[in-house]
Structure formats: C-alpha cells, structure tokens
Amino acid sequence: MMRTLLPSLLLWGLGMPVWAHGVELGFSTTPAIEVQARYDTGQPMAKAQVTVFAPGDPGVAWLTGQTDGEGRFWFRPDPAQLGAWQVRVRQGGHGGMLTIPVTTPAEDVMGDEPEAPDLKIPASPPASLSPWLRLGMAASWVWGLVGTALFFARKTHAPS
Amino acid sequence: MFVFWGSILIFGLMAPVWAATGQLHIEANGEDFIRQGFVSKDGWALEFSQVKLHFTQVSALQTDPPFNPDQGGSPTIKQRVDLPGGVVDLKGAEPVLLGTVTGAPPGFYNALSWQLTPTPELGGASLLLVGTATKGNVRLPFQIKVDQGYRVLCGEYIGEERRGILQPGGTARLEATFHFDHLFGDGEQDANDSLNQEALGFAPLAALAEGGRLEVTYSQVHKQLSPADAEKLSQALQGLAHTGEGHCRVEVLE
C-alpha cells in the first residue's frame, strides 16, 4: 500500500501583534514544511507516528510527533543544517520515508512531485582508533615481527 | 610457534582494516504471520510448517539520492556489498540470518536488493509454502510451490528503528521482510480494508484441492483460477516483499 507524502512550504505565525498590560508581543514569519501523509486510496494517515531526521545525523531522530486528523505534520528545519531532511511516517504496520531537499533556508520546496533530493549522506567519520587498539596494534606489529624473525633465526642456527 | 607469531603479525596488519570497516547482517523475516499462523480474509486458519525461499544475488546498497521504489528510475549506487544467498526457512527463527558481510565499507545502506529464483532444492520453486489450513471441520494440508522467479529492489528499511547505518568497526542489520497477509488477507482486518480487497485469500486455492490435499504450483494455479483471481495471485506474490514496512519494486524474472 503506497503512501504519498507531500511537502510544502508554509509561513508560520502570520497575524497581528497584540499588546497587553506589561507584555510585549510580536511576530515574525518563519518557513516551515508541511508533510501530507495518506494512503494510496486517498485516505489521510491520521494520527500517524512521524519521525524527522536531520541531514547530519541520520541515525538519531531530530524530532518526533504525530500527524493531525488530516494526515498533516509541520516542522521547521534547522536552517543551519542544509541537505536532505528525511521524514518517516508509520501507522499500523505501514510506513514510508520522504526525503526533502533543503539547500537554502528560503528555498521553496513546494510541489506534489519533489525533485530527486540532493541527499548528502554524511561522510563516514574517519576510523578513529582507540588508544588501547593503537597500543595493541603496535605491540602486535613488534611482537609479530620480532617473533617471526627469531623463529627463522632459530631455524637457521639449529644444529642438524 | 610460527603460526602463533604469524597470527599476531596478521592481527597487527589487519586491525586497521577491521577497524575501518564493519559487519552487515542481512536477515529474512516472515513475521508472526508465518511463525504463529493467522486467519485468512476468508476464514481459513493457516499454520505453516515450512516457508522456504531461495535467495540469490543479495546486495546491500548505499544510494544517493536515497532510492525510492515508489518512484521511477534506477538507484544511484555509491557503495555495494554482496551475499550469495541460499535457501532459508522463515519458520526457523525471528528473523532468519541470511548472511553476514564482513569488511563492509561504512556508510548508510539505504537500499536492499535480491532475487528469488527456482531451485531443485525446493523442487523447482523459489518459494515453498507447506502447512495446514483449517476451516470448520475441514482440515486441508497444503503444499504450494511458486515456480517463478522475482527480482526485488527495495528502498530503506522502515520500522521502529532506523537500520543500515554502519559505523567503522560496528555492525548494522538489514531485513528482507515478507508480508503474507498481502497474499491471503487478514481475517482480523475489515473485509473492506484495501489489503483484504487486494489479497487473493485462501478459499480460491482450497477450491483446487484434490483428495483432501492441496498440492499445486503457481503455474498450475494461474491457469485454473478465474482471470480476476489469477491476477490477484500474481499481484499479491509481487507484493510480498518489503524491507520492514518499506516498499520494494518487484519484477518477474523471465
């Protein structure tokens, strides 16, 4: 069963400023992404489990939540983390993954058929070796080389 | 003594390589539908004694952009590791280990592909289902051989946890998952649920039983069923393969 997840760009917080006694309120507009999740029958995935993954760390959920009754979910990506944001939506044993390219903070990612995302899978971290592993490797090298040399040396000088 | 010193030397030489790669476990899973049995959409209680699959050309892929099987196009493969495959019984464990790739380059394995091919080991089948179906007082032993091959290309594993992210020196898991409720339907779901609407069920197969047993191949059944049911069977078999809850693109091998 296929699901369709449609991202669109919204403006949050539109409205008029309000003043009250001793309080100063204001507003600003912030780009946000709306995800629309539905089954291929057209039925919205209402109250479905949503997990958002940021481009820099695909193994850790950046945000979790739930779709509304219409299968919609909104989030505001961290503008400092450009790249492919991924949104996983699951419900009752069915699930899908949506990739949303965010290349500049103000980029419009509207559209029913988003272009293939320019996902930059984070480069694997350099193989950082622990001090104990480094020590073990060095000892193994020395031990192995010396031991092998001694072995052949003994063979060479052994009485026949 | 030479073996001892040589082993130490080999460890010293290989340690950086092992630390820079990882282990990728590839598993197969028939879920509780197979392990515990279930009731089909038409009321047949299905219990399985064997559900064997013949895997070939199993590959874990790092794709960029992430491969989406629901959209067109081929995956752009940045890294690939392979397993030869073999025969596994989904009844065996939760899940069944298909194999382990040692020395796998780290990265995010966000796609998985495999083939199911007929093999003499399964009597010419790529998928063998053996079990018993019960409805009321009728008890029907069955053996169904799917004598057709499939090429399967899946996207990312979708489930409770995110899988396939392999760190240097670490381990990661991927899973070929088979949803047999897509074939037989699920009696616990509403009859109007799209899954049950699209599933074949078991009744059309039970109607082909002879002498109190159902022993059929896909090729035989496809000719005996009504055109509508034959189409449902064909589509349902192609809809079995998933990775977790994630979708796959399935083609019939000629």
pLDDT tens digits along A98-117: 999 988 754 444 444 443 33
User: Would you call B78 and A121 a contact, using CB atoms and an 8 Å cutoff?
Assistant: yes
Give pLDDT, residue A136. Answer: 53
Give pLDDT, residue B245. Answer: 95
- Kind and range of the H or E run holding B130: strand B127-135
Reduce the DSSP state of residue A127 to 3 states and report it.
coil
Give pLDDT, residue A53. Answer: 96
The amino acid that residue A130 corresponds to is S
Query: Is residue B198 exposed (0-12), middle (13-18) or buried (19+ Cβ within 10 Å)?
Result: middle
Q: Find out whether B188 and B36 touch, Cβ atoms under 8 Å.
A: no
Percentage above 70 pLDDT, chain A: 52
Give pLDDT, residue A93. Answer: 86
Backbone angles phi, psi at B17, to 5 degrees: -65, -45
Tell me the pLDDT tens digit for each residue of B45-69.
999 999 999 999 999 999 999 999 9
Q: Which residues of B touch A49 (CB under 8 A)?
A: none
User: Would you call A127 and B1 a contact, using CB atoms and an 8 Å cutoff?
Assistant: no
The answer to whether residue A28 scores a pLDDT higher than 80 is: yes
Q: Looking at A3-159, list the stretches that DSSP marks H as alpha helix, in order from N- to C-terminal side.
A: 131-157
User: Would you call A90 and B158 a contact, using CB atoms and an 8 Å cutoff?
Assistant: yes
Give pLDDT, residue B83. Answer: 96
d(CA A1, CA B3): 57
Q: Find out whether B239 and B182 touch, Cβ atoms under 8 Å.
A: yes
Q: What is the DSSP secondary-structure string of B3-56?
A: HHHHHHHHHHHHHHHHHHSEEEEEEEE-HHHHHT-EE-TTS-EEEEEEEEEEEE
Q: Which residues of A touch B244 (CB under 8 A)?
A: 95
Q: Find out whether B72 and B110 touch, Cβ atoms under 8 Å.
A: no
d(CA A69, CA A139): 63
Cα of B236 to nearest chain A Cα, Å: 11
How high does pLDDT run on average in chain B? 93
Hey, is the C-beta of A12 within 8 angstroms of any chain B C-beta?
no
In which band, very low, low, confident or very high, does the pLDDT at A138 lie, cut at 50, 70 and 90? low
Hey, is the C-beta of A42 within 8 angstroms of any chain B C-beta?
no
Give pLDDT, residue B10. Answer: 58
Q: Structure pTM? A: 0.78
Hey, is the C-beta of A140 within 8 angstroms of any chain B C-beta?
yes
d(CA A100, CA A82): 10
How high does pLDDT run on average in chain A? 70
Q: Which residues of A touch B5 (CB under 8 A)?
A: 143-144, 147-148, 150-151
In which band, very low, low, confident or very high, does the pLDDT at B163 lie, cut at 50, 70 and 90? very high
Give pLDDT, residue B1. Answer: 58
d(CA B21, CA B154): 23
Backbone angles phi, psi at A101, to 5 degrees: -75, 125
d(CA A2, CA A39): 6
Lowest mean pLDDT segment, chosen from A14-23, A54-63, A110-119, B230-239: A110-119
User: Would you call B158 and A97 a contact, using CB atoms and an 8 Å cutoff?
Assistant: yes
Of A93, A121, A122, nearest to B245 by CB-CB distance is A93
d(CA B173, CA A111): 34
Backbone angles phi, psi at A51, to 5 degrees: -130, 130
As beta bridge partners, residue B243 has B246
User: Which residues 90-119 on chain A approach chain B with CB closer than 8 angstroms?
Assistant: 90, 93-97, 99, 116-119
Which residue's entry shows tokens 């959920």?
A61
In which band, very low, low, confident or very high, does the pLDDT at A9 lie, cut at 50, 70 and 90? very low
Count residue pairs from A and B with Cβ separation < 8 A: 114
Closest CA to A97 of B48, B69, B36: B69
Number of CB atoms found within 10 A of residue A152's CB: 11
- Preceding amide of B65 cis, omega within 30: yes
Give pLDDT, residue A158. Answer: 41
Hey, is the C-beta of B19 within 8 angstroms of any chain A C-beta?
yes
Cα of B132 to nearest chain A Cα, Å: 26
Hey, is the C-beta of B64 within 8 angstroms of any chain A C-beta?
yes
Give pLDDT, residue A29. Answer: 84
Of A1, A86, A133, nearest to B195 by CB-CB distance is A1
